[in-house]
Amino acid sequence: MAQQAIEFRREVPLRHDVDVFVAGGGPAGVAAALAAARQGARVYLAEGQFCFGGMGTAAGLPLFCMFTDGVNFLAGGIGREIYDRLFAMPGGVVRSKRGDSSIQYPPEALKVVYDEMVSGAGLEFSLGTHLVGVQSEDGWVRHAFCWGKSGLFAVRAKAFVDATGDGDLCAWAGAPFEKGDAEGLMQPGSLLSFWSPVDWKKAEEAGNGQWRQEHRLPEAIRDGVFSVPEPHMPGLIQSGLHAGVGSFGHLFGIDGTDERSLTRGVIEGRRRFHEYETYFKRYLVGYEDMELVGSGELVGIRETRRILGDYVLNAEDYFRRAVFADEIGRYCYGMDAHPRRLEDASRSVEDFKKLRLKKGESYGIPYRILTPRGLHNVLAAGRCVSTDRSVQSSLRVMPGCFILGQAAGVAAAMTAAGDADIRSLSVPELQGRLAELGAYLPNRA
Ligand SMILES: Cc1cc2nc3c(=O)[nH]c(=O)nc-3n(C[C@H](O)[C@H](O)[C@H](O)COP(=O)(O)OP(=O)(O)OC[C@H]3O[C@@H](n4cnc5c(N)ncnc54)[C@H](O)[C@@H]3O)c2cc1C
């Protein structure tokens, strides 16, 4: 049956009248809002959850991928500040044992880091606030509409940053996008789970500590422990002295832009927790006492819309370690596309091992991947920027999103100051301002 459409019209209060509106306060949105505020712009940041950080907090992820390429600190500026503040948190963070520049942390600690940075930045913000629509004319967005417990309200801004992860604002304003592969399949989501106590020392000594928990999966699969027999899992990641975050049980076929699909995902994720509990307790050492103490407020989503911009950063650029005249940063994490379906599971793990860059190597990120086609005063930031699926699987990780968000924030402030098109700003000036913030820009003229 064709879906009926109902017109919904009403007047809503104009609550924020600012230079820059940032939708979404994950790593990209926080970086964008802070960067725009540091340029002197009046900023309003709306975040749907009751914490900043997106996947790295609300979904429960406890691990930053690479901040550096092993030689250079790529997420310079705001990314660097977040990194330093985390290390300074009471209780400390757990350093990665992978030997790269990734760090592990308790998600609650990261929430406080973001709270402090955003609260001290002189910008307007509210949590529990969802972007629900936009009003635009000929590619110029004039107002955004948000919903919070007080009801609907409007935000007027000169420039907009879409840091929703899913490209909601860009898509609703009419920007073209791609989603998934030719069949529309995307990387699977994961519902993260929190477990304690874990005896990490004992697990390590028994040879099944962090990143070494997979070896008995085949046996457990044969024993019928799992209803979905996945041959691989990222595993239980240490997030504190005695705590761990479970990143296991891929949710295949879930679309993070559709709440009905997310509903199926969250129910499926919760259903499978006890299977992994059985695996850890019955087949591994060090996990005997662990209990489920919680799960993510958000389903962990790796991939949804890729907003088509003036350039699409692609695998060829990654492999040639591309340099661009309009570079706003460089990044290096390997292509890490989780399997779209169960049958592809083994291949994607092998691919990840093959598709890494070497120490000191990185690829350029051009400004044009932040500028959505057909829109004049909107910038995309974070995992929805204009890339092919291969590059998305590298750039989507949080330090990459700090680089993207920081650049989008500065560009939005410049756009708002000139009341101009995002394409008319001076790229050398943008790069100069980014360099002042601490961005890594070795190819700047
Ligand atoms: C299971 C899993 C494991 C991962 N592992 C790692 C890892 O080990 N290391 C790493 O660095 N990265 C990892 N990533 C990737 C990384 O966490 C995300 O890609 C990254 O957080 C994306 O940042 P973002 O700011 O673009 O979006 P998100 O982190 O998704 O943040 C978007 C924010 O916008 C808010 N939002 C969305 N829609 C709206 C709306 N309409 N109105 C208002 N607010 C809205 C959301 O609540 C959220 O806070 C992982 C991701 C997943 C799912």
Q: Span 220-227, mean pLDDT?
A: 98
The yes-or-no verdict on residue 101 having pLDDT over 90 is no
> Which residue's C-alpha comes closest to atom 22 of ligand 1?
383
Nearest in space to 381 (alpha carbons), one of 419, 411, 351: 411
Ligand 1: atom nearest CA of 301 is: 53
Which of 43, 306, 300 lies closest to 171, judged by CA?
306
Local confidence band at 63 (pLDDT 50, 70, 90 cut-offs): very high
pLDDT at position 324 = 98
Do 6 and 145 contact (CB within 8 A), yes or no? no
Residue at 221: amino acid letter: I
- pLDDT computed for residue 98 by the predictor: 45
Give the CA angle between residues 230, 231, 235 to the nearest 5°: 85
User: What are the two backbone dihedrals, phi and then psi, of residue 390, each rounded to the nearest 5 degrees?
Assistant: -65, -50
Round the average pLDDT of the chain to a whole number and report it. Answer: 95
pLDDT of 168-215, one tens digit each?
999 999 999 999 999 999 999 999 999 999 999 999 999 999 989 999
Ligand 1 pocket mutation pick from 47, 55, 162, 172 by most atoms within 8 angstroms of CB: 55
Which tokens go with 29? 């949105």
- Residues touching ligand 1 (Cβ under 6 Å) are 23-29, 46-49, 54-56, 58-59, 61, 63-65, 130-131, 163-166, 168, 190, 247, 300-302, 382-383, 396-398, 401
Is the pLDDT at 97 greater than 60? The verdict is no
The arithmetic mean of pLDDT across residues 62-85, rounded, is 95
Of 353, 343, 99, residue with least CA distance to 231: 343
Per-residue pLDDT averaged across 77-87, rounded?
Answer: 93
Q: What was the pLDDT predicted at 100?
A: 53
pLDDT at site 445: 78
- Give residue-wise pLDDT tens across range 123-180: 999 999 999 999 999 999 999 999 999 999 999 999 999 999 999 999 999 999 999 9
CATH fourth-level superfamily of 14-180+303-437: FAD/NAD(P)-binding domain (3.50.50.60)
- Mean pLDDT of the 404-424 span: 97
Q: What percent of the chain has pLDDT over 70?
A: 96
Confidence of residue 93 (pLDDT cuts 50, 70, 90): low
Q: Which of 143-157, 341-355, 412-426 is predicted with the least confidence, judged by mean pLDDT? A: 341-355
Most informative mutation of 164, 247, 295, 394 for ligand 1 (most atoms within 8 A of CB): 164
Q: Ligand 1: which residue has its CA nearest to atom 27?
A: 165
Specify which residues 219 forms β-bridges with.
none
Q: Atom 49, ligand 1: which residue's CA is nearest?
A: 54
Burial 29-43 (b: 16+ CB within 10 A, else e): bbbbbbbbbbbebbb
Residues 31-56: tens digit of each pLDDT: 999 999 999 999 999 999 999 999 99
